[in-house]
Amino acid sequence: MTTSTDTTQRGSAPQPGGTRKNSLTAGQMPRWTWIAVAIGALVLAAGLTALLGGGSFSWTGWLIFAAVLYIVGMYVTTYAIENKRRATDGIWRNLVWAAFILALIPLVSVVWTVFANGLPTLLANPQLLWTDMGGVTGADDIATQNEGASLQGGFLHGLAGTLMITLMATIISVPIGLLTSIFLVEYSRGGWFSRSIVFFVDVMTGIPSIVAGLFAFAVVELFITTFIGESPRHVQMIKMGLTAAIALSVLMIPVVVRSTEEMLRVVPNELREASYALGVRKWRTIFKVVLPTAMSGIASGITLAIARVTGETAPILVTAGYAAATNWNPFSEWMTALPVFIYRQLMNPTAPAAGLPSADRAWAAALVLIVIVMLLNLAARIIAKAFAPKKTGR
Amino acid sequence: MSKRIEAIDLNVYYGNFLAVEGVNINIEPRSVTAFIGPSGCGKTTFLRTINRMHEVLPGARAEGRLLLDGEDVYATGVDPVTVRTQVGMVFQRPNPFPTMSIRDNILAGHKLNGARMSRSEADGIVEKSLRGANLWNEVKDRLDKPGSGLSGGQQQRLCIARSIAVEPDVILMDEPCSALDPISTLAIEDLINELKNEFTVVIVTHNMQQAARVADKTAFFNIAGTGKPGKLIEYDETSVIFNNPANKQTEDYVSGRFG
């Protein structure tokens, strides 16, 4: 299937013993070979797609055919003109590129879809950011969909919930995670205790998030029924922002422990010894020399852990429930997080007969969520730069 | 402000491995003593037992007596931190704290221990220590710049300034010039000559000319073979060690002959 490109290549290949050239570059393909092969592959794939499609032309099919033809074509061409070694080198390079592009497709596609669907809604209805769903009924959405009334409601309650729950989860997990990794790196001497901590932290990394949610629910239930009371009014108290924060910290702690541990291990031992030699105690050495030196990596690890749990849905749904009104207090009443809001708006639209306004709100919320996560990642980079030990001044 | 160091039958272990055996040595105050010997013979290990830095490594310990002006630093109940405030140490590779400025590096010994001091008091310590380390003129205009921005020789002098800032009685130096060029080495050697007016200086070196240049007394350590403990072979005036050693091993080592 690559004969056409093949023959064109052979004619132009520099012949050994032809015009006097650098002997070191003899027998090499001309630089434009890959362009020729690419064009040949695209043309051939277009013909093939049109033939197989039977009238309708599939763009995806065309690109896939072209990619396969290009990889095979480059291999055959290189094999024919140069040698097998270079052909094998080339095919692996092309496969790596193909894998990279494949991996990029879903990422770009997700971001594109969310922006395309969410941005127009958000720009037309910026009040989504500062109103909640309190008082919004199905009648409003039916009016929006059928009579063109403006979109009602918003997801301020989701923003408040995500913010408060993530903040609480961070307050819980950062000290625990930080101190655990300090124990692992600075105090334990590789005994069974530290090895089992490492093992269980690794197990925790792979815990399904719904299990974390149920665990937090069970813990808070046990606490409340034991110490406060068992009446239905008390059982109602279980679902609150704090319970969700506990669930999220179960997911967050292992991430914080592992990233901090790595960062502490790369702090040179010389710095610890320098500090000891000045007569500084161990805990002061850790808090004033080791931690500041590793701070950039630790801070970015924590930020990435926050970004990871911000998108959790299931554990928050079972622990904090779903509310329509804004609730800033994580210690009582139900709370809505942005991912839960998105899930509920799509699965149970406010107006079951008119789902479009709900879907619009969900897309806008998804856009805001992605922007938050992107900003957190950006913050991680800025923090890492800001805290990094200064190397300038020479 | 300067103390005598005496070791009496000191054995140093890494776990069960006896690294240095039976060291008996008497180091005078206000003097420079050099430890020489082949790699792995226990010079650095013994040096690190003097300020109890040895035991920072897991399983490492020392047996016997090590006296600072007659007081045993290995007596029960002695806090290693107290010992280290009296016995400062300079390491092989310059290791200024990368997160701190030059000024904060000098003040590290005070600040890390939570000491509060007035600005003028701190300035006084910084200037005195940097002048003591012959670094003041080079860095006085950039005290707030990071210490890691200095050259290798300047960094090492910064580390020396950092250890004299806490006013120890003894300064231990573990091959302080091995990572430096000859000019920086000369600056440090000059500095060592000045330091002995105030401190007891003990220096480990692989460079025998350096030992001959800076040390009043020299101790030669040797090892019988791999897996065997290192021993103190000979300890005498530097001129005697290099010109007229009593021991055959010492003579072979300082003259470059082996076996």
Q: Is residue A14 scored above 80 in pLDDT?
A: no
pLDDT tens digits, A275-287: 999 989 999 999 9
Helix (H) or strand (E) holding A344: helix A338-347
Give the pLDDT of residue A3.
44
At residue A323, the pLDDT reads 85
- Asked, for residue A65, whether it belongs to a domain, the answer is yes
In total, chain A counts a number of residues equal to 394
Pairs of residues, one from chain A and one from chain B, whose beta carbons lie less than 8 Å apart: 94
Structure confidence at residue B1 as a pLDDT band (50, 70, 90): low
Please tell me whether residues A300 and A357 are part of one structural domain.
yes
Measure in Å the smallest separation between the Cα of B146 and chain A Cα atoms: 6
Please state, in angstroms and rounded to a whole number, the distance separating the CA atoms of residues A308 and A83: 48
CB distance B108–A281 less than 8 Å?
Answer: no
pLDDT higher than 80, residue B96: yes
Tell whether the model's pLDDT for residue A352 goes beyond 90.
Answer: no
Distance CA A171, CA A174 (A): 6
Mean pLDDT of A239-258: 93
- Contacts of A359 by beta carbon, 8 Å cutoff, 6+ apart: A345, A346, A349
Across the range A210-218, mean pLDDT stands at 94
CA distances in angstroms from B122 to A51, B107, B111, B155, listed in the order given: 85, 7, 10, 20
- Write down the mean pLDDT value for chain B: 89
Residue in chain B nearest A191 by alpha carbon: B58
Q: Residues of chain A whose C-beta is under 8 A from some C-beta in B?
A: 189, 268, 270-281, 284-285, 288-289, 292-293, 295, 389-394
B152 to chain A, any CB pair closer than 8 A? The answer is no
In a domain, A162, yes or no: yes
**A167 shares a domain with A81:** no
Report the distance separating Cα B76 and Cα B68, nearest Å: 15
Tell if the CB–CB gap between A279 and B109 is shorter than 8 Å: yes
- A202 occurs within a structural domain: yes
**Residue-by-residue DSSP string for B155-209:** HHHHHHHHHHHT--SEEEEESTTTTS-HHHHHHHHHHHHHHTTTSEEEEE-S-HH
Relative to beta strand B200-204, strand B32-36 is: parallel
Residue B215 has pLDDT above 60, yes or no: yes
What's the domain range around A317? 156-387
Smallest Cβ–Cβ distance between B149 and the set A284, A295, A393 belongs to A393
Strand order through the sheet with B87-90: B71-72, B60-68, B5-14, B17-27, B230-237, B217-223, B32-36, B200-204, B170-174, B87-90
Is residue A141 one of the residues assigned to a domain? no
Please check whether residues A169 and A60 belong to one and the same domain.
no
Of the pLDDT bands very low, low, confident and very high (cuts 50, 70, 90), residue A390 is low
Q: What is the pLDDT of residue A154?
A: 85
How many domains, chain A? 2
Residue A2 pLDDT greater than 70, yes or no: no
When the pLDDT of each residue in chain A is averaged and rounded to a whole number, the result is 86
pLDDT tens across A63-88, in order? 888 999 999 999 998 888 888 898 89
Map residue B67 onto helix, strand or coil: strand
Specify whether A300 is located in the same domain as A380.
Answer: yes
The per-residue pLDDT for A392 is 47
Q: Does B234 have pLDDT greater than 50?
A: yes
Q: What is the CATH number of the domain that holds A275?
A: 1.10.3720.10
**A270 domain residue, yes or no:** yes
Same domain membership, residue A165 and residue A77: no
DSSP state of A14: P
Domain identity same for A191 and A314: yes
> Is there a contact between A322 and A143 (Cβ–Cβ < 8 Å)?
no
Q: What is the pLDDT of residue A256?
A: 94
Q: Is residue A185 part of a domain?
A: yes
What ipTM does this complex have? 0.89
Same domain for A170 and A88: no
As a whole number, mean pLDDT of residues B229-252 equals: 91
Q: Of A66, A94, A117, which residue sits at a domain end?
A: A117
Given A117, A141, A176, which residue is the final one in a domain? A117
pLDDT at A97: 94
Q: Who has greater pLDDT, A26 or A167?
A: A167
What is the reported pLDDT for A230? 83
Q: What is the pLDDT of residues A155-202, one digit of tens each?
A: 899 999 999 999 999 999 999 999 999 999 999 887 899 999 999 999
Contacts of A327 (CB under 8 A, 6+ apart): A157, A160, A161, A241, A333, A334, A335, A336
pLDDT in tens, A141-150: 888 888 888 8
Are A17 and A80 members of one domain?
A: yes
Go through the domains of chain B in sequence order and give each one's CATH number: 5-254 (3.40.50.300)
Please identify among residues 203-242 of chain B the ones whose CB lies closer than 8 Å to any CB of chain A.
Answer: none
Looking at the predicted structure, is the pLDDT value of residue A252 above 80? Answer: yes
Co-location of A257 and A381 in the same domain: yes
Q: Do A273 and B93 touch (CB under 8 A)?
A: no
Among A188, A270, A278, the strongest candidate for a mutation testing the B interface, having the largest count of B CBs within 10 A, is: A278
Q: Rounded to whole angstroms, how far apart are CA atoms A164 and A334?
A: 12
In the predicted model, is pLDDT for residue A24 greater than 50? yes
Output the pLDDT for position A391: 54
Residue B171, chain A, CB below 8 Å: the answer is no
Asked if the structure places residue A382 within a domain, the reply is yes
Give the DSSP letter of residue B91. Answer: -
Pick from A284, A305, A156: nearest CA to B109 = A284
Higher pLDDT, B173 or B224: B173
- A240 to chain B nearest CA, in Å? 41
Is B128 within 8 Å of chain A by CB?
no
Amino acid at A217: F
Please, which pLDDT band fits residue B2 given cuts at 50, 70 and 90?
Answer: confident
Distance from the Cα of B44 to chain A's closest Cα (Å) equals: 14
Same domain, A170 and A38: no
Answer yes or no: are the C-beta atoms of B144 and B59 closer than 8 Å: no
Q: Are residues A89 and A24 in the same domain?
A: yes
Q: CA-CA distance, A240 to B224, in Å (whole number)?
A: 72
- Decide if A278 and B166 are in contact by the 8 Å CB cutoff: yes
Domain boundary among A62, A96, A117: A117
Out of A109-118, A174-183, A252-261, B171-180, least confident range: B171-180
Contact between B84 and A278 using a beta-carbon 8 Å cutoff: yes
Residue A274 located in a structural domain: yes
For residue A19, the model assigns a pLDDT of 58
The answer, yes or no, to whether residue A35 has pLDDT greater than 50, is: yes
Q: Is residue A58 domain-shared with residue A205, that is, in the same domain?
A: no
* Whole-angstrom distance, CA of residue A383 vs CA of residue A300: 6
* Whether the predicted pLDDT of A18 surpasses 70: no
Please give the pLDDT value at position B217: 93
- Tell me how close the Cα of A296 comes to any Cα of chain B, in angstroms: 11
